[in-house]
Amino acid sequence: MMGRASLAKVLQWQAGKQNRYQQFLTAKKLASPLKTAELDSPWPRLNWAGQPKVKVKLGWTAPAKVKKFSIGKLSALEVQEVASAAVKSGADNAEMRALQGLGGMGHARGNVHRDLVRKYFSLLLSPEPWEIQCPLAVKQGGHRIEKEASTHMLLPHLWVIEAQENNFLGNLCCKDEEIAAFWKSQMKSPQMTPELKQVIKTSQPSQLPVPYLLHGDAAPFTEVDSIQVLSFRCLLSSKAVTQSQMLISALPKLAMTKETCKRMMEVLAWSWQVLWDGVVPKKDKAGDPIEKHRGKRMRKGVLWSVSGDLEWFASEFGFPYSAANMLCPFCLADQFKEGSPRPFTDFRATAAWRQTTLPPAKLQKKFAGHPLFRGGGGAPHASALSIKLDILHVLDLGVAAYAHGSLLWSIMEELPGASRAVRLANLNQKVVEAYDKVGLEAQKRMKHLSLSDLAETAEEYPCLKHVKGAKIRYFAPAAFELAKEFNETKSGKHREALAKQLVKVYKILGSSWEYWDFEAFKKAVDDFMAHYSWLAANALHEGLHLWSLVQKSHVLLHLAEQSKFMHPCLNWTYGSESFMGWTVQIGGDLTHMRTAKFWCLLQAWKKMMCKEKMMGKEKMRGKEKAHKLKKGPSVKKKAKNLKEIRCAN
């Protein structure tokens, strides 16, 4: 099994492939297998990228395969085998034949990966990994111990230098006019520091610092371990995630200790300082001289947003977990069962917890101990105000999932049918009709729901499960149509009003960040939660398990307040989560033990083979012994006896 610490370094090289597969052209721009595509190439060091535009002939399956290889979905051998089969099936063109010829037409299987990397990934734009020393958990003598070891990071300022040297920074970021418009919109934000404000006022658009977003999250890549990934991108980038998201680190959680994250964040804060200074210093954070890129200048950048889910915020920054009595990091709302002075379930404008919301200065002080936010040693102009709540985790996979789950369940119970299975089938038919009524495309629809997608029993709070966040979002107009059809009762009218407000929330979120309407968004969220809280109280009164109120229900109100100066779309993590998925897949493919179950199966297979081998040897020995007894003495023994007889004579 590959060492957990060394896994991070391989993932960093993989990040180069991930950003580099674009050099193989984009399959989406090709309408037919042999169509000529005229493309603007951002890759100056490629053989064919000397001119501003290049014409190449390319089969659509060729770039698709290289893309899948670059994100870990296909191995090099599989790319060669599929290309070979495609050529034999009639898809005969130059690029497909080139893939077919890897590793000497596949005969030298050990050279296929080498040839593919040399042909398409020889000039990676990813920087050299930066080695750091930090405490890591390693196995020694069968025990898990902590000791100082080396791991690797791809630091932000190194990414920017490499991109700038290859004339690719503009493709990773955005236009200067967009940066100027963004900083103009942030001048009244409490995040803005006097120093940053002065730099913005005195700089030309081409010299303004680029705002960046840092994303952190963890996801399982084996049955027993998760991989924690840090990445970053330009806050204003409209490029696809494959072209804009840059990996910083990827480390299995079992290899991490309490000090590991702290040490990595300290190095990361130093990198943000270098990026803000705009020049590589002579010495690194530890005081050792820097050989490569020393004294080189780069475009300034600033860490403006930090995004992730609530679980990562809790583990990294000390946010309270959902089960804590004081469950909110932004106010003193609580969830005590009895005698609660500031219940988080109170969504009125006069709720007691609203008076305890921390002002910006106190919020900065509360989380000032984190390495990214420490004054004088953290990332310049970054503070607790940089931590941004995310629409995907808080709304789509949080409150909206619970709202739609309860809406569907309550409507299902009103439908005719002798059993719940029959009523569910009728509900699925109603959902299809609602989708047809709003004209939603088939690929954006949810599949037919089963009880496990809502709730197994009536004692469980319904929630949309096993559904992507984007599909929950697309379901809002159809949910409104369903609510309008079943609105005879008082609770039905509140359901309709709730669904209407949720559609309004998503419509406002769909606007461009330049035309952000904060007041309309805040009012829509407040109205939505007002109807939700009424439905929750009514269900509790009737003894029904519906309309669950959770930590995210309360935090959604803080998200609305937080978005006063910046559109939430700049911070949401749809693309970052896709990037996470690829990193997890690559990490899983880099380990021999992909899952515990596979490992156990492999060990059992090895034992079985060894046992069969031993039995086979014993069987062969038995046969040889029987053969000797049957044939008498061997030839050598006969020759020895004959020699003795001759000597005697």
Where does the pLDDT of residue 599 fall: very low under 50, low under 70, confident under 90, or very high at 90 and above?
very low
Give the model confidence (pLDDT) of 481-526 as tens digits.
999 999 999 999 999 999 999 999 999 999 999 999 999 999 999 9
**In the block, which residue shows the tokens 């053969």?**
627
- Same domain for 340 and 474, yes or no, is no
Last residue of a domain, one of 83, 104, 120: 120
Least confident window among 29-33, 261-265, 536-540, 633-637: 29-33
DSSP 568-624: GGGT--HHHHHHHHHHHHHHHHTSS-SSHHHHHHHHHHHHHHHHHHHHHHHHHHHHH
pLDDT at 59 over 50: no
Same domain, 426 and 557: yes
Q: What is the pLDDT of residue 330?
A: 96
* Any domain includes 450: yes
Question: Does residue 606 carry a pLDDT above 50?
Answer: no
What's the pLDDT tens digit per position in 94-116? 888 888 899 998 899 888 888 88
Q: Is the pLDDT of residue 44 over 60?
A: no
Q: Ranked by mean pLDDT, which of 240-244, 454-458, 542-546 comes out on top? A: 542-546
Backbone torsion region of residue 518, taken as left when φ is above 0, otherwise alpha when ψ lies between -120 and 50, otherwise beta: alpha
Q: Give the integer Cα–Cα distance in Å for 593 and 397.
A: 31
DSSP 526: H
Q: Is the model's pLDDT at 598 over the cut of 60?
A: no
Q: Answer whether residue 79 is part of any domain.
A: yes
Residue 643 lies in a domain: yes
Do 408 and 342 have their domain in common?
no
User: How much is the pLDDT for 437?
Assistant: 95
C-alpha 273, offset from chain centre: 25
Residue 316 and residue 386 in contact, taking contact as beta carbons nearer than 8 Å:
no
In a domain, 225, yes or no: no
Whether pLDDT at 355 is above 90: yes
Residue 123's pLDDT band (cuts 50, 70, 90): low
pTM of the model: 0.78
Residue 23 lies in a domain: yes
Q: Which residue range is the domain that position 475 belongs to?
A: 391-570
Task: Measure the CA–CA gap between 275 and 384, rounded to whole angstroms.
Answer: 20
- Show the DSSP H helices in 326-468 as ranges: 360-366, 391, 400-414, 420-438
Q: Where does the pLDDT of residue 50 fall: very low under 50, low under 70, confident under 90, or very high at 90 and above?
A: very low
- Both 478 and 398 in one domain: the answer is yes
Whether residue 402 sits in one domain with residue 529: yes
Question: Is 599 or 563 the better-scoring residue by pLDDT?
Answer: 563
pLDDT at residue 476 tops 90: yes
Number of DSSP helices (H) and strands (E) in the chain, helices first: 25, 8
The pLDDT score that the predictor gives to residue 72 is 66
Q: What is the pLDDT of residues 14-23, one digit of tens each?
A: 444 444 444 3
Listed residues 85, 120, 155: the one ending a domain: 120
Q: How far is CA 452 from the centre of its chain?
A: 25
Same domain for 401 and 529? yes
Q: Token pair of 238, please?
A: 């409209």
Tell me what the mean pLDDT of segment 409-429 comes to: 94
pLDDT grade, residue 560 (50/70/90)?
very high
Number of domains in the chain: 4
* pLDDT, the chain, mean: 81
What is the mean pLDDT of the segment spanning 537-554?
95
Decide if 108 is inside a domain.
Answer: yes
pLDDT for position 198: 95
The DSSP element (H or E) to which 40 belongs, if any, is strand 36-40
- Listed residue (19, 30, 106) closest to 63, CA to CA: 30
Q: Are 344 and 422 in the same domain?
A: no
In a domain, 313, yes or no: no
99 contacts 79 by C-beta, under 8 angstroms: yes
- Both 500 and 643 in one domain: the answer is no
Q: Which residues pair with 289 in a beta bridge?
A: 283
pLDDT at 482 (0 to 100) = 96
Confidence of residue 146 (pLDDT cuts 50, 70, 90): confident
Whether 37 has a pLDDT exceeding 70, the answer reads no
293 phi and psi, to 5 degrees?
Answer: 70, 10
User: Over 80: is that where the pLDDT of 305 sits?
Assistant: yes
Domain boundary among 86, 104, 120: 120
Q: Are 519 and 610 part of one and the same domain?
A: no
With respect to residue 266, please indicate whether it lies within any of the assigned structural domains.
no
Average pLDDT over residues 192-210: 94
Position 619 confidence tier, pLDDT thresholds 50, 70, 90: very low
Same domain? For 412 and 545 the reply is yes
User: What tokens appear for 520 in the block?
Assistant: 């309309």
Quick one: tokens of 351?
């709720």
Specify whether 424 is located in the same domain as 499. Answer: yes
Of 58-62, 507-511, 537-541, minimum mean pLDDT range: 58-62
**Predicted pLDDT of residue 150:** 87
Indicate the pLDDT class of residue 89, thresholds 50, 70 and 90: confident
Task: Give the per-residue pLDDT at 271.
Answer: 95
The answer, yes or no, to whether residue 630 has pLDDT greater than 60, is no
Mark whether 476 and 549 lie in a shared domain.
Answer: yes
Q: Is the pLDDT of residue 636 over 80?
A: no
- Supply the pLDDT for residue 30: 30
Which pLDDT value is given to residue 622? 53
Q: What is the pLDDT of residues 245-294, one digit of tens each?
A: 898 998 888 888 888 999 999 999 999 999 999 999 998 888 888 888 88
* Range 141-159 average pLDDT: 88
